[in-house]
Amino acid sequence: MDDYIKSNYIIEEKIMIQEIPAIIFRPKDAGEKIPTVVFYHGWSSNKETQRMRGFILASAGYQVVIPDAVYHGERNPLNDYSPEAAIEYFWDVIFKNIEEYSIIEKDMVTKHGADPNRITVMGNSMGGFTSGGIFTQNKDIKALIVFNGCCWWEDFNKKADVAITEKMEKVIEKVEELDPMNNLNLLTDRPILLLHGDSDTSVSVESQRVFYDRLNPMYTDKQKIKLIEYPKLNHAVTTNMMEESINWLGRYL
């Protein structure tokens, strides 16, 4: 990595977690058992493009690890990320991210001082799908933050209206199994923050609205689940979203 964000207070380090390339940000004065955020990038993106977000979160006192997803960054990237490529690889990437989470978590705890009781998953777009799936399957993760993602996977697939091939049949079966919407009992009363533009043309906010409306009544503490929609915002992460995220981390991490 050639261009570091220069700071006297934040350490940026490029690491390998087994075969997973990643970047870590942490405050220089961080002690042991540091609260840690695992941040997942979106489709066609990579860890480098998320560095400023990692820097911002680290500036607020958190350790942040940003891994490259398979077929992205340093991990056999695709020649193009067209809609056709997304149909072929999108869910493969998400499933692989979910599978690899335990490897990342173990490495962060054993080698990088992460507090195992204070870990949050966060992601944008495809990374939001990923973080929702990981959070659902790992009850010890403290909180979830989703930018412009979807926690009702089956609905997203239906809206995509893709041809049902033999491979897609297997994907649909696994989506149904891991879909956060189909596992609401695993999410109840756990801190979840959903941030989404109301004019998103890539991942519609409608699925998140329904997910929120179904899960919210199951919560004893309504402060622990929140959906914020940003008027006239398309598929982007804003300064306001980062501010809300830091506030959420301060409350629950």
Domain ranges of the chain: 10-252
232 within 8 A of 198, measured Cβ to Cβ: yes
Burial code (b: 16+ CB inside 10 Å, e: under 16) for 88-124 equals bbbbebbbbbbebbeebbebbbeebebbeebbbbbbb
Q: Quick: pLDDT tens for 164-218.
A: 788 889 999 999 999 999 999 999 999 999 999 999 999 999 999 999 999 999 9
Cα 84–86–92 angle (5° rounding)?
130
Q: Indicate the DSSP class of residue 44.
A: T
User: Is the pTM higher than 0.85?
Assistant: yes
1: pLDDT strictly greater than 60: no
Q: Which CATH number is 10-252's, of 3.40.1440.10, 2.30.40.10, 3.40.50.300, 3.40.50.1820?
A: 3.40.50.1820
What is the predicted pLDDT for the residue at 2? 45
pLDDT band at 160 (very low <50, low <70, confident <90, very high): confident
Beta bridge partners of 196: 229
Mean pLDDT value of segment 86-97: 96
